Structure 1
């Protein structure tokens, strides 16, 4: 389709004489559908009429071509231009693209995105060609040490970053272009870097001249180099290392926002991409960055104050970009939310405003209807901006001040009625302000509840805490404190809840970020209050690990549990984003803590029960081990070569093997390997097979247990390996099978009932599981099994008397029931791992009757509920008389008891019955 076939709208001519002149310039053979477009364009815009005067012959041909081919047809011939010819060739290209894009915009032939893409494509080509031609000249003159003609395609290491609208591909009709010029100092060792820098400074200045100098042919683009680091004191081109150091040390929020749109547009594009990758931690914070809202709000107010754009919306001289309800409001609204969450979610890192809005809606950060409305308003405002600039090629966003010029603008936008145009324009400005202002404007401090004297003393002491030492921290906290105190006052015991919150607040190292988080999402205040009312221990944990709160508003906190495969994929993806081993391990810690916290919160709030929580904790631990294993192996292999022979497997033992953990569980692991007769590894520092696997095991344990900036993953217990603490940390599979057949004690066979292969060589894992099943069938046949277990039980109970709300240890308590369940599995030769399934195996084998199996399972279920809730509350020895009222209430709700005495009585009754059953079972 040619141009005329795609017309959908037309401006109305404001100046009939100019309209007629424009039509005359196009000649008699102009297709009829284009006549009103040319009349409207020339009759409203002196600039477009001047371009028609200069380029009428070219335009006549271009309007008969496919509009999608025109831009490239203008740009491609520029590749053959010499440095001497380039400036005027670029000016001609600018005239043609400006003219065609203007008409395509006015006629609705191109969308806003197509118009801005054409203008940006011209800017990209102009910058790239200018830089490369000028660098070639510096190389020819011998001013770039070590560089030859082969280095011209990469501009000898110089790169130009497009910022702002050019970086986003959104250049407006009469935009200047914001550029940052850098060079790769690694290509210039020693003193060569200084000589190279001087050459690149010359290139930058000459490039700016080529683009922005006004000649008889016009200009290409006004060029702004002031977005570079510390522009008042730095040269126009600096090294990448200097720029990186600046952003790491003193970079500000507005510079982070600017780099959302940054894009290499000329010179060494690959080096530019490398530089942007190094800035990702600066631009995209890993934690939700709600403090950026306040920064953006302050920036908006400073712009308004400086430009005088406060007060009610008056259309005359109103700034469509910076004024109330303008383009910048939508851009800030989008970019700030991208900064808040883009560090956690790469899908939000779209350079364009419309694309950013779309991504935010897809990920649940903005409602779909708000996104659709803001997108339409953004496109409307940008079109108004283009009309303002098309009139006389001025870089302006200001609406007219005279009635005549408002008439011109209304006709340019296709309105015959200026008042109708004004009414629509004002309503759209006010709607933008309405949609965006509530997001930015900080809330007013509300009055809180009346406090007792003791409570007032606690609250008055908060000013001494580290989190409230900064003025900004105090300012934000003043606004959220009434809501916090009101929510704490609703707790079962407000004084206990206030004390727990005090513990949380006192442990916070800083407050601006988390207080901003509270202000932006009051759900978090409710959550903190719930935790404070339930568990002072969890409150203190949160003060040390407040970053886990990011997950609550990260979009999927209350989604269904994903399961092991998706967890493994998620963690693997998170670690893959890091550049080195240590950072991958630390990233794994942050990831695990968020999921661990999620399960705890779901349990605390009654969204899941103790059994689902136990399953989730176990699946999380399994995912961590499985995802971490190849990372550890790869790092170890880098130094010592691949695994000798077939490889190794990691076995989960105990509760991990059974697939049920609590919030405080450590991991019981065993490492088995098969070297296949290979004696040594083949890496840079080869090791004997036995030493290799022992050190690989230690590397895995270190990866799980090492204390890093995000804490540790898990404590690890390897005492269930052959010979316990005295045995090697990794065991050859052949030695393991021989030991289990010939030397292992009954308790080691019991432990094997819950063993499960988690990670490693698949064939070896299948062999381990086959051996486990065969061994259980073999070793459970002896008459000595019950006697061995009875002896073991007597020794355990001698030191663990139990009683009260103690769930784990004591006669008829959880460990006791699990012991008899494992015994049932061993004697029955059944592969079941979970205690309830093992008890059912005992029933099927005739080892327990139906009543015994039911009594033991009922006791185990209640004990597990007590144990899991107590461990979530960080109470290894729960005493109802000494715990907070909220914590006691949580345990009672989980267990379905009305009061502490009722739960104690049920525990005593069920444990006594279980004790009697176990004693009788082992005596048979």
Structure 2
């Protein structure tokens, strides 16, 4: 890309505060264009520092300004690369003087944007750090002080990595900025000699800081601050990456997490630095929505202001444009805190620049677009003023002058009249405060207000502060601010006493409260949701107390969007799993992900956004997505130990409700693994296994991945007893054995199970073969005269083993769900119908059922499933409406369209009686003979 020359790009200029000083500087450049001499005069007339630089570098500046500034910058950055260790300091100091002069003129003349100015300064800092580290490490290697290191290792600083923090890390260095660095080395590279290596790297770090920050007759390069390293008061200036990682994992604080938003490797071993930063991602970017970071940032702001004495009235003189009210730090904290809140769930928010971070937040709806635009404009104005303050005397200051004369100089530097400058600055500071303060400072006005409450309610609420979630003072502070709003919502609930008792159970089960209460404080709509859940589904509220992180999903932006279906779910889970570094973390991530979506289904069902049938489908979609997402993960982990799967591989066959595509909130999964070894007798890997043992253990690995309880709980209970020969058979079955068994040995009930079987994961070719076998078996085995009799006997045994123990029973017993599912499966078997859902199986049995019988079974099934699925959401215990309370009963009535519990029970008894009568007639000897006669005709 070619750039126009300097003069043609001028868009603005300061006003010379000291005209005679400016004229003296301009006189040094008689050959320059008038507009360039005017810029130099105006700049030098406001800044003694720039006047001195112009005088010292006059011979360099004149030709530099005759060319594009990008070329001049590239040239001055190239020169230090040719220096040796003895001359590096002088070369870098010269580069710094020239870069300071060039960037100041580009800034003051409007030739470069703010990002180009700060980027140029950051580029020089990167160069200075990298060259210093590599030259000094090379010297340590030459002197034999780095064990095992060779001369060529100096190119990567022999494993020493320098991290740029703060503004340098973000490429946002201000004009007279110091640079914040953390120096780490790769301990594993040195084995038992790591302590000797550490001593050498400590020397390198100290010498590097001297090269950069020592002031000589030539000036200095950058003031260098090494105090952002872990536990700086007791640790050396360079420490191992392992020690740093252990510190952050055990003791890292919110301000350190915020600091690492901007961190990047800037010198030495860049790859090692990048690996370290990647390892810190779980520390910096929490997987949950981290609203507790708001309070941390607010507390930090107040401490800084108190420490610096910045809490006085807002006036221009002595105001700190960085740390004072409405300053730069407010905008940076505003941005970084919101990034910390949501960046763990959304990597797109992890931009390390302030402007980029605000833009990303606005794009994802975390900041209104208008607020983003205004804050960026304010930020740019603040940063330009910061640069002018520092250009006056090359001082690391963000404080405006204490006198009117000093303020007038800055106004001239900004090309403004003093009065307009003062008015504009105060307006910007006040507006910045207005936009950011409400986000940080929680309102105290409603902190203690409680509505009128009965005595028993006040007694329950008084006991809350004894719960573990309110153990810390910080949790109590936040909760006191929430208590009035929370109890107010409770009193407005349809059944306040029930909601209060359920909420009490929710709070009692919370292990900690700061994070969740901060979430509530920042998102009051969640309080309404919690009260709604507590008043309707106490079991779900208790589940929430153990898995409060699922509330993040409500705020994630997609909670109320259309259901993504199995394909969308699978893609989302795969993306989440790919973001984890090892097998155990992937299992934990799958559990977190599944809980979020499971919770979403429950909330949508509870609030009437979906009915029981849609909920059943969504629960089944979710289970299928878990299986398709985890299967390749488990397979890869297992193959890493025992080699690739022998032959064509395997498929997972879902049975029962899973295969039929309709689950409830508490369903387990019925699975069979079928494989095709294609004659291969064993795997080939580090620990090869015979084929049968390979697939048996692979099955166990998959079951464990689904059902083992990790720190994040379990995914599903899994049942593999529907495999051939049940508990006695192998847990994995070859496709030929499975086909032969179905053709020659299986009982009618096993053929019946095939009517709901469906391949959910595994090799596509084998999946097609298994489905073809399933259809062939159904078509062939349903034709025998004994099918109806076998199913009738099976029904009798089931009713004896699983009778209806309550008038509210929906699943087991005559005329209930299992009875209808048994009939539908039998009809599908007899008619050779490959459909799996009950409704489609019934609809395909037109020649076996009278139309009115088909309609009775279909409508009865829909009613029973609606009641059953709703009841399972409310509780995992047998349905007893009285135990559910009024809120739970109201939910059941909404799902079934009945007016009260008595009417609902009467309908349930009527439906089950009618279905039981129909079933008895179908399985009677007369029905069997009638069917035989129909066949003879």
Verify same fold: TM over 0.5.
yes
Measured in 1, the distance between the counterparts of 2:370 and 2:814 equals 61
Q: Which runs of 5+ in 1 are unaligned?
A: none
Deviation at 1:366, TM superposition (A): 1.4
Q: 1:64 to 1:824 in 2, by over 3 A?
A: farther
Which one of 545, 553, 573 corresponds to residue 543 of structure 1? 545
1:394-440 deviations in Å (ceiling 9; x for gaps): 1111112222222221121121x221121111111111111111111
Quick one: distance in 1 between partners of 2:55 and 2:454? 82
1:910 to partner: Cα distance = 2.7
1:209 matched to 2:206? The reply is no
Residue of structure 1 equivalent to 2:362? 361
Task: Give distance in 2, aligned partners of 1:855 and 1:469.
Answer: 57
**2:128 maps to which residue?**
126
Q: Which residue of 1 aligns with 2:22?
A: 19
* Partner residue, 2:437: 437
Distance 2:921 2:76 in 1: 95
Please say if 1:427 is aligned against 2:427: yes
Partner of 2:191, secondary structure, is coil
SS of residue in 2 equivalent to 1:25: coil
Task: Give yes or no for contact 1:179–1:227 (8 Å, CA) kept in 2.
Answer: yes
Q: State the Cα deviation string for residues 496-526 of structure 1 (Å, max 9, x = none).
A: 1111111111111111111111111112211
Change (3 A) 1:882 1:206: closer
Counterpart of 2:934 in structure 1 is none
> 1:349: Cα distance to partner?
1.5
Task: After TM superposition, give the deviation of residue 850 of structure 1 in Å.
Answer: 2.7
Which one of the candidate residues 832, 835, 838 is aligned to 1:832?
835
Name 2:823's counterpart in structure 1: 820
Residue aligning to 1:782: 784
- Which of 743-752 and 57-66 deviates more? 57-66
Contact 1:289 1:339 in 2 (8 A): yes
Deviations 1:877-914 (A, max 9, x none): 21223321111111111222221122222222333333
User: Which segment is superposed worse, 787-796 or 424-433?
Assistant: 787-796
Residues 674-720 of structure 1, C-alpha deviation per residue, up to 9 Å, x if partnerless? 00001111111111111110110000000000011000000001121
1:271 aligns with 2:272: yes
- Contact 2:161–2:270 (CA under 8 A) maintained in structure 1: yes
In structure 2, the CA distance between the partners of 1:440 and 1:907, relative to structure 1 (3 Å rule), is: same
Match of 1:411 in 2: 412
> C-alpha displacement at 1:43, in angstroms?
1.9
Say which SS state the counterpart of residue 226 (structure 1) adopts. Answer: coil
Question: Which residues in structure 2 correspond to 1:631-646 (within 5 Å)?
Answer: 631-646=633-648
The alignment partner of 1:883 has SS state of: helix
What is the root-mean-square deviation of aligned Cα atoms in Å? 1.5
Gaps of 5+ in 2: 932-937
CA–CA distance in structure 2, aligned partners of residues 460 and 403 of structure 1: 57
Tell me the secondary structure at the aligned position of residue 682 of structure 1: coil
- Cα contact 1:365–1:555 (8 A) shared by 2: no
Which residue of structure 2 lines up, in the alignment, with residue 43 of structure 1?
A: 45
Q: CA deviation at 1:787?
A: 1.7
Secondary structure of the corresponding residue to residue 795 of structure 1: helix
Distance in structure 2 (CA, Å) of the matches to 1:849 and 1:25: 108
Q: Tell me the residue number matched to 2:796.
A: 794
**Counterparts in 2 of 1:32 and 1:849: CA distance versus 1, 3 Å:** farther
Higher mean displacement: 652-661 or 63-72: 63-72
Displacement of 1:114 after TM fit?
0.9
Structure-2 separation of matches of 1:171 and 1:637:
49
Kept in 1, the 8 Å contact 2:448–2:480? The answer is: no
- TM (norm. structure 2) is 0.96
Which residue of the partner structure matches residue 251 of structure 1? 252
After TM superposition, the structure 1 = structure 2 runs for residues 95-244 of structure 1, keeping only pairs within 5 Å, are: 95-190=97-192, 192-244=193-245
Q: Distance in 1 between matches of 2:144 and 2:321?
A: 49
Alignment match, 2:391: 390
1:854 Cα deviation after fit: 2.0
Alignment of 1:370-381 (within 5 A): 370-381=371-382
- Please tell me whether the aligned partners of residues 874 and 884 of structure 2 are also in contact (alpha carbons under 8 angstroms): no
Change (3 A) 1:70 1:658: farther
CA contact (8 A) 1:805 1:866 kept: no
Distance 1:855 1:201 in 2: 83
Count of residue pairs brought into register by the alignment: 919
1:158–1:200 CA contact under 8 A, matched in 2 = yes
2:652 matched residue in structure 1: 650
- Measure, in 2, the Cα distance between the counterparts of 1:564 and 1:36: 68
Aligned to 1:504: 506
What TM-score results when the alignment is normalised by the length of structure 1? 0.97
Distance in structure 2 (CA, Å) of the matches to 1:484 and 1:756: 46
Report matched runs for 1:438-457 at 5 Å. Answer: 438-444=438-444, 445-457=447-459
Residues 803 and 908 of structure 1 are in contact (CA less than 8 Å); yes or no, is this contact kept in structure 2?
A: no
Whole-Å separation in 2 of the counterparts to 1:658 and 1:337: 43
SS at match of 2:396: coil
Correspondences of 1:502-581 after superposition (within 5 Å): 502-581=504-583
Q: How far did 1:622 drift? A: 0.4
Distance 1:427 1:840 in 2: 73
- In structure 1, how many angstroms separate the alpha carbons of the residues matched to 2:795 and 2:569? 38
Structure 1 distance, partners of 2:71, 2:611, is 63
Return the alpha-carbon distance in structure 2 between the equivalents of residues 619 and 64 of structure 1. Answer: 67
| Residues 19 and 895 of structure 1, relative CA distance in 2, 3 Å threshold | same
Distance 2:842 2:75 in 1: 79
List per-residue Cα deviations over 1:353-382 (Å, max 9, x = no partner).
111111111222111211111111111111
Answer whether contact 2:617 2:661 (CA < 8 A) is retained.
yes
Aligned-partner Cα distance in 2 for 1:161–1:727: 59
CA positional deviation for 1:67: 3.5
CA contact (8 A) 2:824 2:842 kept: yes
Structure 1 segment 900-919 matched on structure 2, within 5 A: 900-919=901-920
Using the TM superposition, give the Cα deviation of residue 671 of structure 1 relative to its aligned residue in structure 2, in angstroms: 0.4
More moved, 496-505 vs 452-461: 452-461
Decide whether the 8 Å contact of 1:446 with 1:483 is kept in 2: no
3-state DSSP of counterpart to 1:84: helix
Of 675, 678, 681, the residue aligned with 2:677 is: 675
Provide the residue aligned with 1:78 in structure 2: 80
1:842 is paired with a residue of what secondary structure? coil
Who is 2:483 aligned against? 481
How far 1:42 sits from its partner (Å)? 1.8
Listed one character per residue, the Cα deviations across residues 614-672 of structure 1 (whole Å, up to 9, x for unaligned) are 11111110010011011111111111111111111001111111111111010111100
CA deviation string 1:852-891 (max 9, x = no partner):
2222211111111111111111244212233211111111
* Structure 1 range deviating more: 130-139 or 906-915: 906-915
State the partner residue of 1:694. 696
* 1:61-80: CA deviation from partner (whole Å, max 9, x where unpaired): 22233344333222123222
The answer for the alignment partner of 1:806 in structure 2 is 809
Partner of residue 885, structure 1:
886
With over 3 angstroms needed to count, the CA separation of the structure-2 counterparts of 1:44 and 1:738, relative to structure 1, is same
Alpha-carbon distance in 1 for matches of 2:71, 2:907: 82
**Residue in 1 aligned with 2:769?**
767
2:894 match: secondary structure? helix
Per-residue deviation, 1:21: 2.1
Counterpart Cα distance in 2 of 1:15 and 1:505: 68
Q: Conserved in 2, the CA contact under 8 Å of 1:646 and 1:761?
A: yes
